[in-house]
Amino acid sequence: ETGVTQTPRHLVMGMTNKKSLKCEQHLGHNAMYWYKQSAKKPLELMFVYNFKEQTENNSVPSRFSPECPNSSHLFLHLHTLQPEDSALYLCASSHPGQGDNEQFFGPGTRLTVL
């Protein structure tokens, strides 16, 4: 247990569905991240929130919409996804500026788009 939880752990959705991924961290960190991990590709940073403000949007398609209501919670809203969006979506948190910039990852959501 890293102190970062994600729900659901597995999600299967059709291309016309709307769903949301949730991430919660109990570490007192002020930065949260969404990553996408596809087979045989490096971890791809999608979004960064620092003190609830989005500081990075790594050219992610608009069918992915992040929301960060507070420093402990992060959502990724999904709509009209494509089969190539099937991947492991990882949430992480950190405390930037506090020395090591270490990121702690949640267990991930395995997403399958049919």
Partner 1 sequence: QKEVEQNSGPLSVPEGAIASLNCTYSDRGSQSFFWYRQYSGKSPELIMFIYSNGDKEDGRFTAQLNKASQYVSLLIRDSQPSDSATYLCAVYTQGGSEKLVFGKGMKLTVNP
Interacting residue ranges for partner 1, rule: CB under 8 A: 2, 40-43, 45, 48, 56, 88, 90, 96, 100-108
Contact by Cβ (8 Å): 31, 96: yes
Nearer to partner 1, 37 or 72 (CB): 37
Structure tokens given for 70: 């507070």
Of 79 and 104, which CB lies nearer to partner 1 in the complex structure?
Answer: 104
- Our CA dihedral for 94, 70, 75, 7, rounded to 10 degrees, sits at 70
- State the nearest-atom distance from the C-beta of 62 to partner 1, in Å: 20
**Closest distance to partner 1 from the beta carbon of 79 (Å):** 25
Q: Is the CB of residue 82 less than 8 Å from the CB of residue 60?
A: no
